[in-house]
A and B are shown apart, each in its own frame.
Chain A
Amino acid sequence: MTLETLSNARGVSGNEAAVRDLILDAVREQIDEHTVDALGNLICLKRARPEGAGGEKPLRVMVAAHMDEIGLIVTGINNDGSLSFDKVGGIDDRVLLSKQVLVGDKAVPGVIGYAPIHLIPASERNKAPDMSKAVIDIGAANKGAAEGLVNVGDYVTFHATYQQLDSERLRTARGKAFDDRAGCAVLVELLQGEHPVDLYAAFTAQEEVGLRGAQVAAYRINPDVAIALEGTICDDLPKEEDDDSSPVTQLGQGPAITFMDRSFIADRRLVDLLIHTAEENDIPYQFKQAVSGGTDAGAMHLAREGVPSIALAVPSRYIHAPVSLLSLNDFDHTVQLVRAALSALQGGLPS
């Protein structure tokens, strides 16, 4: 399973089946058990290996990556054949203009149009557009024609195709939904190897609408330790000369360790474990240098009696927009760091 396949797959929150099927196919041979639960989470168990590793009761480690992506949903089919829509998850209205989208399971192509600039009064050209009346145009001549192609309730994804850009230095790649297909791809990679802990790989649903999949998955698994894998904010664009503010993360500087975000405060022991593991294995790392966003760790750390939790992320520019960009070096280093951390957890959580 490549990042490419996962990024190109389509799965807005609440409609993750296509992504889930792809992942299950890719990992089925590597896992001992799996469940698909009521929210649509795919939970895979890979027991500690080789046999006896991790002692009689190996540590139960839940590693979560969310399958869902932000997108749109069709709320109505209008008489002129256009589609009204609502947003699923946090999308900046300004990125919607003039984008290509795919509607429904049959991936019907469409565009989000907006009035030509010629017809917009000068006084409004500098304002953020009002998207409450925007529609998707699939080219249907009228309501009847549209109804033959799409249904109310169809989920809509951005149309963007994965492509590797730079093959040498940062090994950059562009594509949609790196938040969090990058995390899913890391987790699929991890399942190919052996680890001295009982690894509960949770491919979660509905993260973008409130960490809902991870909440019920963590309740079911009741793990000893939890790790959320993410594609996170990277704001390393050029700044004004005297602006020395945080880029949150920087492309190519390694996986980003989250010490706190809006949804949780990381367990200090796990922060230290990741730093120590990275340094010992010469893996580059950075901190997520801002307290922003939320992750599945926010739900997992509050499950039942509480679970020591951490989030680790592949820095991705332009998340929550139609196309994002990451460095495959960061991706590989994330796989390496989590793999080494799972080994380091063999003896249990350090005190």
Chain B
Amino acid sequence: MIESTELLRKLSQASGVTGYEDEVRQLVHEAWEPLADEIRTDTLGNLIAIKRGAGDAPRPTIMLAAHMDEIGLIVSAIEGDFLRFSTVGGVDLRTIVGQEVNVHGTESLPGIVATRPPHILTAQERSRVIPLEKLFIDVGLPEETLRQHVQVGDLITMRRDLISLAGEFVAGKAIDDRAGVVSLTVCLDMLRGMRHTWDVYAVATTQEEIGLRGATVSAYGLTPDIGIAVDVGFGKQQGVSDSKIIDMDAGPAIAMGPNVHPKMHERLVATGKQHELKYQTEVIAGRSGTDGWAMQVSRQGIPTAVLSIPLRYMHTTVETICTRDIDRTGRLMALFITGLDEAFGEELGIEKGADA
């Protein structure tokens, strides 16, 4: 049985800014190796674990995707003893002021996103968001030493340990979407003790945060018959309207809308009901912004579903989640997979080998 909190802790604290997912990929590889029949990395760094089904070959396939990259920063220039930086993915500049970071130069250097003391600022200056051009990172080294250790293009991650809150809630960085990766792990682990006829591709995707790039190429490469993307969704929190959110500690939200094949949605809901799992539903009116958006239009089109794990404070270093929801998501997927049969394939009109 996977200890999901501990795995999440490891993954959350690892570095893996978009395009540079090596460290987190290594950890996911270690977690998945005992659970899969085969494991490999593709051209864009997606980690693909294959768990074969018990049916006759050629077997239909399902792709599960959760992204392992995280938003971050990148060194764009060295100016005196300070570093200028750019953002990778949707970083909210308001949340990083005064933040501790790691600058991944020749070694990992602790740094601080510099702030000017409020005492010397005017009231007007204090009321404005500090633009990127006025933000610097200070690693406390003089220019000469700094230049020996850091170059333009070095990655910067947030320095933040995962902490446990009350009620099996945890908070930390990059839970978007390492929580999804953990749910895939829970699913693979459960499947070891269950019979399933379809082949399962579990994919920890890369470069989601700058445009679903890993999912685009891995879906093309794998050509699955159906797909599920797991990502985090906006959990209920202060200051956000109720119609835009899902409930915390209420299980994964099974999405509906143009991005989701109606039969996939139906079957997931039925699975949840049948096994008395906690789940909720949510409506996504158009672009889901998840790997599912890319998977659905791969090649000739793939029947796709999207699961959202409720999460508060998205794209900050205090992303907060209930670990029970992660387990519930993994369980829902595993039970969905064990229920996949020929009839469901026919219902979806799956034509094996149609692309050849």
Touching chains A and B, CB distance < 8 Å: yes
Chain A residues packing against B (C-beta within 8 Å) = 13-15, 35-39, 41, 73-76, 84, 86-89, 132, 152-153, 206, 209-210, 212, 215-217, 219-220
Asked whether, in the complex, the Cβ of A38 is within 8 Å of the Cβ of B301, the reply is yes
Assess whether B256 is interfacial by the CB under 8 Å rule.
yes
Per CB-CB distance, the 4 closest pairs between chain A and chain B, nearest first, are A14-B258, A216-B301, A38-B301, A86-B285
Assess whether B299 is interfacial by the CB under 8 Å rule.
yes
> Given that A14-B257, A75-B243, A212-B258 are known contacts, is A39 also in contact with B283, CB under 8 Å in the complex?
no
- CB-CB under 8 A from A73, the residues of chain B are 257, 283, 285
Interface size class of B (residues with CB under 8 A): 20 to 34
Asked whether, in the complex, the Cβ of A209 is within 8 Å of the Cβ of B303, the reply is no
> Given that A39-B297, A88-B285 are known contacts, is A76 also in contact with B258, CB under 8 Å in the complex?
no
Contact with A along B240-275 (1 / 0, CB 8 A): 011100000000000011111110000000000000
A to B CB contacts below 8 Å, 29 in the list:
A14-B258, A14-B260, A35-B349, A36-B349, A37-B300, A38-B296, A38-B303, A38-B349, A39-B301, A73-B283, A75-B243, A75-B283, A76-B243, A76-B283, A86-B285, A88-B257, A89-B286, A132-B241, A152-B283, A209-B286, A209-B287, A210-B286, A212-B297, A215-B297, A216-B301, A217-B301, A219-B299, A219-B300, A220-B301
Contact of B302 among A38, A74, A76 (CB under 8 A): A38
A216 to B303, CA, bound (A): 12
Asked whether, in the complex, the Cβ of A38 is within 8 Å of the Cβ of B257, the reply is no
Contact of A74 among B258, B283, B297, B303 (CB under 8 A): B283
A299 to B46, CA, bound (A): 26
A88 to B349, CA, bound (A): 26
Q: Which of B261, B281, B283, B296 has the most CB of A within 10 A?
A: B283
> Given that A36-B349, A38-B303, A75-B243 are known contacts, is A210 also in contact with B287, CB under 8 Å in the complex?
yes
> Given that A153-B281, A212-B297 are known contacts, is A38 also in contact with B261, CB under 8 Å in the complex?
yes
- CB-CB under 8 A from A76, the residues of chain B are 242-243, 283
Minimum C-beta distance from B272 to chain A (A): 15
- CB-CB under 8 A from B77, the residues of chain A are none
A73 to B301, CA, bound (A): 23
A203 to B260, CA, bound (A): 19
Minimum C-beta distance from B130 to chain A (A): 29
A220 to B241, CA, bound (A): 42
Chain B binding surface, main DSSP class: loop
Minimum C-beta distance from B219 to chain A (A): 12
- CB-CB under 8 A from A36, the residues of chain B are 349
Minimum C-beta distance from A299 to chain B (A): 9
Residue of A whose beta carbon sits closest to that of B299: A219
Asked whether, in the complex, the Cβ of B243 is within 8 Å of the Cβ of A84, the reply is yes
A74 to B303, CA, bound (A): 22
Assess whether B277 is interfacial by the CB under 8 Å rule.
no
- CB-CB under 8 A from B297, the residues of chain A are 39, 212, 215-216
Residue of A whose beta carbon sits closest to that of B256: A153
Task: A75-B243, A216-B299 given; name 17 further pairs at CB < 8 Å.
Answer: A13-B258, A15-B262, A38-B301, A38-B348, A39-B301, A73-B257, A76-B242, A87-B285, A88-B285, A88-B286, A153-B281, A209-B286, A212-B296, A216-B300, A216-B301, A219-B299, A220-B300
Contacting A at CB under 8 A, from B275-308, are: 281, 283, 285-287, 296-303
A206 to B285, CA, bound (A): 11
Q: How many A-B residue pairs have CB under 8 A?
A: 72
Q: Which of A38, A75, A76, A87 has the most CB of B within 10 A?
A: A38
Asked whether, in the complex, the Cβ of A153 is within 8 Å of the Cβ of B283, the reply is yes
Asked whether, in the complex, the Cβ of A153 is within 8 Å of the Cβ of B243, the reply is no
- CB-CB under 8 A from B302, the residues of chain A are 38
- CB-CB under 8 A from B287, the residues of chain A are 209-210
Minimum C-beta distance from B244 to chain A (A): 8
Minimum C-beta distance from A187 to chain B (A): 20
A86 to B301, CA, bound (A): 25
Contacting A at CB under 8 A, from B302-356, are: 302-303, 348-349
- CB-CB under 8 A from A75, the residues of chain B are 243, 283, 285
A89 to B258, CA, bound (A): 10
> Given that A39-B301, A73-B283 are known contacts, is A206 also in contact with B258, CB under 8 Å in the complex?
yes
A175 to B349, CA, bound (A): 34
Contacting A at CB under 8 A, from B168-222, are: none
Asked whether, in the complex, the Cβ of B281 is within 8 Å of the Cβ of A152, the reply is yes
Residue of B whose beta carbon sits closest to that of A206: B258
Asked whether, in the complex, the Cβ of B296 is within 8 Å of the Cβ of A39, the reply is yes
Residue of B whose beta carbon sits closest to that of A39: B301
Contact of B258 among A35, A84, A132, A209 (CB under 8 A): A209
A219 to B303, CA, bound (A): 16
Residue of A whose beta carbon sits closest to that of B225: A38
Minimum C-beta distance from B257 to chain A (A): 6
Minimum C-beta distance from A300 to chain B (A): 13
- CB-CB under 8 A from A89, the residues of chain B are 286
A67 to B287, CA, bound (A): 19
A75 to B256, CA, bound (A): 10
Contact with A along B215-245 (1 / 0, CB 8 A): 0000000000000000000000000011100
- CB-CB under 8 A from A153, the residues of chain B are 256-257, 281, 283
A152 to B300, CA, bound (A): 29
- CB-CB under 8 A from B259, the residues of chain A are 14
A150 to B270, CA, bound (A): 19
Minimum C-beta distance from B220 to chain A (A): 10
- CB-CB under 8 A from B241, the residues of chain A are 132
A13 to B300, CA, bound (A): 18
Residue of B whose beta carbon sits closest to that of A88: B285
Minimum C-beta distance from B267 to chain A (A): 14
- CB-CB under 8 A from B299, the residues of chain A are 216, 219-220
Residue of A whose beta carbon sits closest to that of B348: A38
